[in-house]
Amino acid sequence: MKAMRALRAVALAAAALLPWVPATGQAQEWRGWNIHAADYPNGRGLDRFGELVMQRTNNRIRMRTYHSAQLGQQDEAIQQMRLGSIDFGNFNLSPFNNLAPSTNVVTLPFLFRNVAHSHAAIDGIAGAEIAKDLEAIGIIALAWYDGGARSVYSTRPIRTPADMRGLKIRVQTSDLWIDLMRALGANPTPLPFGEVFTSLQSGVIDAAENNYPSYESTRHFEVARYYTTTEHSNVPEVLAVSQQRWRRASEAERNILRDAARESATLQRQLWAERERVSRQRVEAAGVTVIELTDRSPWSALMEPVYAKYAATPRLSGMVQAIRALP
């Protein structure tokens, strides 16, 4: 009897410890989050990441990505990653703005000169700082996806900053985004991505802002027929795993995860460039009016307060300077 009880106690103690034991031999199931459809460049990147990890761990880590926001909207998914109930995912960096200070820097309007400049920043100095801030909130950044140039789209034509006055525009959940739109005279409303279509349709909002692929894949273009190439932000995206999983991974598994993430980012970036072209063609073919801006200086001139507020500390203003100094 005594022996049995002792055995049971040992078994219970072992079971309590189980989640913390590096599971070298036994298979694990990892759940991945994706806001977009499976055939979107980011969905293809995540699926590649999963395949590579499964192959290289001989299926010891089984990766399953839930596409199309099946596991919830972005802000919830970030919380779930922090708690460890979602194991990996691809996130835009703006929903981290209120949680991880350095992500504000790469959200700042008109910071990047072009795509190559944004890649140089996020693959270098900016990425290193952001990875530190994300780790502090329980998220391990492994690679950076292209987030594309974001522009304003609306139910009415927008040609100058004056046209933004009073415009009810959807933004991501981020104080920076609220201040950015206020600096343009607009009336920003934070809403989940999945609610933008119906909110445009019902008139809760008049406008939103995103890159061509998101504007097209969500069919927002059917209800907001004017796309103005403000290209006001080029905020990158992260491919990340939860710290809970990371802590338990062996060094060999971490290397596999890092390499697979980088390879998936290379694929995502290639597919991204192509998808931007295709999405633009699709919305134009569907009769959208694209308003091309050639001079964005009247827009960027209004952004001073946003820089003053969100790049205020020496660390963040130093990042801005270092990014600007990149060739």
Binding site for ligand GTR (CB under 6 A): 35, 74, 92, 172, 193, 210-211, 214, 237
Cβ at position 189, least distance to ligand GTR in Å = 13
Written as one letter, the residue type at 209 is E
Q: Which is nearer to ligand GTR, 210 or 279 (CB)?
A: 210
Q: Which is nearer to ligand GTR, 118 or 172 (CB)?
A: 172
Q: Are 30 and 59 in contact (CB under 8 A)?
A: no
CA distances in angstroms from 325 to 112, 113, 160, 297, listed in the order given: 11, 11, 29, 20
Q: Which residue(s) pair with 64 in the sheet?
A: 31
Q: Are 107 and 125 in contact (CB under 8 A)?
A: no
Cβ at position 213, least distance to ligand GTR in Å = 7
Q: Which is nearer to ligand GTR, 110 or 215 (CB)?
A: 215
Cβ at position 231, least distance to ligand GTR in Å = 13
Q: Which is nearer to ligand GTR, 195 or 259 (CB)?
A: 195
Cβ at position 43, least distance to ligand GTR in Å = 11
| Token pair for 194 | 């999945």
Cβ at position 208, least distance to ligand GTR in Å = 7
Q: Are 46 and 64 in contact (CB under 8 A)?
A: no
Q: Which is nearer to ligand GTR, 163 or 237 (CB)?
A: 237
Q: Which is nearer to ligand GTR, 214 or 242 (CB)?
A: 214
Q: Which is nearer to ligand GTR, 62 or 182 (CB)?
A: 182
Cβ at position 155, least distance to ligand GTR in Å = 18
Cβ at position 206, least distance to ligand GTR in Å = 16
Cβ at position 196, least distance to ligand GTR in Å = 8
Q: Which is nearer to ligand GTR, 23 or 37 (CB)?
A: 37
CA distances in angstroms from 3 to 10, 17, 176, listed in the order given: 11, 21, 62
